[in-house]
C-alpha cells in the first residue's frame, strides 16, 4: 500500500501578500497585485506592468552580508519556506534531518544575477565577474539554501519545467514520500523573473499583456478581451508529510495530497495542442491516481494564464477530461490577481486549493467582464462564491508542452 501524504504547513510571498493569510484575504476580496513596473526602466518594452513583490527588504530577513550572496529568487524562497516550516510546527532540532527533504520548482532561477554579471563581463571583462555568480544564479540553489538553513538532509533538488515546475516538484515530492524516501518534504516554487531581460524576453515572444494604462485589469483569463499574460514573481511552499508521521507528532492536517500525473503534448515549444488532449490526459491521470472519478471533482484551479491560446485550449481540455460534468465544475484562475508567477505559480495555486477546502470559499476570477464564447464554463467571475469542496484539482502547463495536475482532497 502506498503511504498517504498530507499537507501540514504552507508559506507564501506573492504580489498580493507577504504570507498566506494576507494573500488569501486579497484573493477572496478580488484584489489585484498587478501594477506598473517600478524597479527598472521599461521605456523600450511593450509591456510595462507586472505583479511585483511590494515593500520587500531582504535585510529585514537576512544578514546583509549573506543577503548579497543570494539572488532575489532565493530570498523569496527562503522567506516562504520559513513560513511553511513554522506553520507546520516543525522544530528542525527535534527532527531527523535525514528524513526531511526539499524539492523546489523554478522556471528560470537567478535571472537578475545572470543579467547583472553579463553586463559586467561585457563592459569590464571576465575578471570582474562575482565569485558568487554561479551559486547565486543556478536554479537548484534555493533548495540548497532551505536545506542548509534548517538542516534538512533528505532528498534535495530542483525541477525546471517552465510554468508547470512547482506542480512537478509537488508531485515528485508526493511520490518520494509515498515510497518511503522521506517523512517530510518542503515543496513548491520560487521565481523572480521581473527584470528587463526576463520581461524583454517574453515581450519578444509577444506573450505579455500590453494593457499598460490599466494594469489591474490586464490579467483577464477567459475574457474575450485578454491580450496576454502578466509576469509576476514570488514563492509558495507546502509542507508535505507522511500521514502517520504527522499524526505521531500531533501536526495539524490541512488536507491530503491524493493524486498526481504528468504528460507532454510533444507538439510545439510554446503552443498547446489544439484538442487539449495532453492536458486532459494529465488531469485524468491525477484523478485516477487519487482513486477518484472525474465526477468526484467539484473544483479546478485552472492554469488560466489570460493568453488567447491557453484559455481556449484549457477549456477544451477540461471538457475532454470531465465530459458533461465540466459544466458543473467551479473553476477559477488565481493568475487573474497575482499574475503569472512562472515556476512558482503552481505553488500558490496548490495553497489556494487547500484554503478553498478549508474555508469553503472560491476566490473570484477577476476582470471576466466580456466572456469569451469559446470559454463557456463556470469560472467564478468577479465575486467570491461559497462551496463545500471535498476534492480539488490544480492544473499547470508549461512551454514545451509540459502538463501536470495534482488532486488535493479534504482529509478524513
User: Do 255 and 6 form a contact (C-beta atoms < 8 A)?
Assistant: yes
Residue identified by cell 462551496 is 387
The gap from C-alpha 81 to its chain's centroid, in whole angstroms, comes to: 13
User: Do 366 and 337 form a contact (C-beta atoms < 8 A)?
Assistant: yes
H helices present in 215-344, as ranges: 243-248, 277-289, 308-322, 335-338
Judged on CB neighbours under 10 Å (0-12, 13-18, 19+), 324 is: exposed
CA distance 250 to 234: 30
H helices present in 68-181, as ranges: 72-87, 111-124, 133-137, 141-150, 165-178
User: DSSP label at 411?
Assistant: -
Residues taking part in catalysis: 163, 303, 340
Q: Which three cell numbers stand for residue 101?
A: 527533504
Phi then psi for residue 342, to 5 deg, are: 55, -120
Residue 32: closest CA among 49, 7, 48: 49
Contacts of 367 (CB under 8 A, 6+ apart): 32, 216, 217, 218, 219, 220, 221, 223, 336, 382
User: Do 49 and 202 form a contact (C-beta atoms < 8 A)?
Assistant: no
Residue identified by cell 469560472 is 379
Residue identified by cell 553586463 is 119
CA distance 288 to 283: 9
Q: Which three cell numbers stand for residue 124?
A: 569590464
CA distance 274 to 281: 14
Residue identified by cell 478549508 is 358
H helix or E strand, kind and range, residue 238: strand 234-242
Amino acid at each position: 500500500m502506498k503511504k498517504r501524504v498530507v499537507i501540514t504547513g504552507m508559506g507564501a510571498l506573492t504580489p498580493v501578500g507577504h504570507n498566506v493569510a494576507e494573500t488569501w484575504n486579497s484573493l477572496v476580496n478580488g484584489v489585484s497585485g498587478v501594477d506598473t513596473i517600478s524597479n527598472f526602466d521599461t521605456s523600450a518594452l511593450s509591456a510595462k506592468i507586472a505583479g511585483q513583490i511590494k515593500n520587500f527588504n531582504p535585510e529585514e530577513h537576512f544578514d546583509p552580508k549573506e543577503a548579497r550572496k543570494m539572488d532575489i529568487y532565493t530570498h523569496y524562497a527562503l522567506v516562504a519556506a520559513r513560513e511553511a516550516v513554522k506553520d507546520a510546527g516543525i522544530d528542525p532540532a527535534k527532527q531527523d534531518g535525514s528524513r526531511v527533504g526539499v524539492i523546489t520548482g523554478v522556471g528560470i532561477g537567478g535571472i537578475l544575477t545572470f543579467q547583472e554579471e553579463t553586463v559586467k563581463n561585457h563592459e569590464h571583462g571576465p575578471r570582474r565577474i562575482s565569485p558568487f555568480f554561479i551559486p547565486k544564479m543556478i536554479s537548484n540553489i534555493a533548495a540548497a539554501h532551505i536545506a542548509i538553513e534548517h538542516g534538512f538532509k533528505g532528498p534535495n533538488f530542483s525541477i525546471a519545467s517552465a510554468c508547470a515546475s512547482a506542480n512537478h516538484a509537488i508531485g515528485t515530492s508526493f511520490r518520494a514520500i509515498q515510497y518511503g524516501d522521506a517523512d517530510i518534504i518542503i515543496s513548491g516554487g520560487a521565481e523572480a523573473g521581473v527584470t528587463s531581460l526576463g520581461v524583454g524576453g517574453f515581450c519578444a515572444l509577444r506573450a505579455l499583456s500590453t494593457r499598460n494604462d490599466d494594469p489591474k485589469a490586464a490579467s483577464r483569463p477567459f475574457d474575450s478581451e485578454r491580450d496576454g499574460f502578466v509576469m509576476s514573481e514570488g514563492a509558495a511552499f507546502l509542507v508535505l508529510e507522511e500521514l502517520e508521521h504527522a499524526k505521531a507528532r500531533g501536526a495539524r492536517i490541512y488536507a491530503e495530497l491524493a493524486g498526481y500525473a504528468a504528460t507532454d503534448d510533444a507538439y510545439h515549444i510554446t503552443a498547446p495542442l489544439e484538442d487539449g488532449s495532453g492536458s486532459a490526459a494529465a488531469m485524468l491521470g491525477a484523478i485516477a491516481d487519487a482513486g477518484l472519478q472525474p465526477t468526484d471533482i467539484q473544483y479546478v484551479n485552472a492554469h488560466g494564464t489570460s493568453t488567447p491560446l491557453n484559455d481556449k485550449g484549457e477549456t477544451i481540455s477540461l471538457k475532454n477530461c470531465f465530459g458533461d460534468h465540466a459544466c458543473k465544475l467551479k473553476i477559477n484562475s488565481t493568475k487573474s490577481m497575482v499574475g503569472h508567477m512562472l515556476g512558482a505559480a503552481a505553488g500558490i495555486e496548490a495553497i489556494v486549493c487547500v484554503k478553498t477546502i478549508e474555508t469553503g470559499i472560491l476566490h473570484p476570477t477577476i476582470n471576466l467582464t466580456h466572456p469569451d464564447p469559446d470559454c463557456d464554463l463556470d469560472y467564478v467571475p468577479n465575486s467570491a462564491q461559497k462551496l463545500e469542496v471535498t476534492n480539488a484539482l490544480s492544473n499547470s502547463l508549461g512551454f514545451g508542452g509540459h502538463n501536470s495536475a495534482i488532486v488535493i482532497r479534504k482529509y478524513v
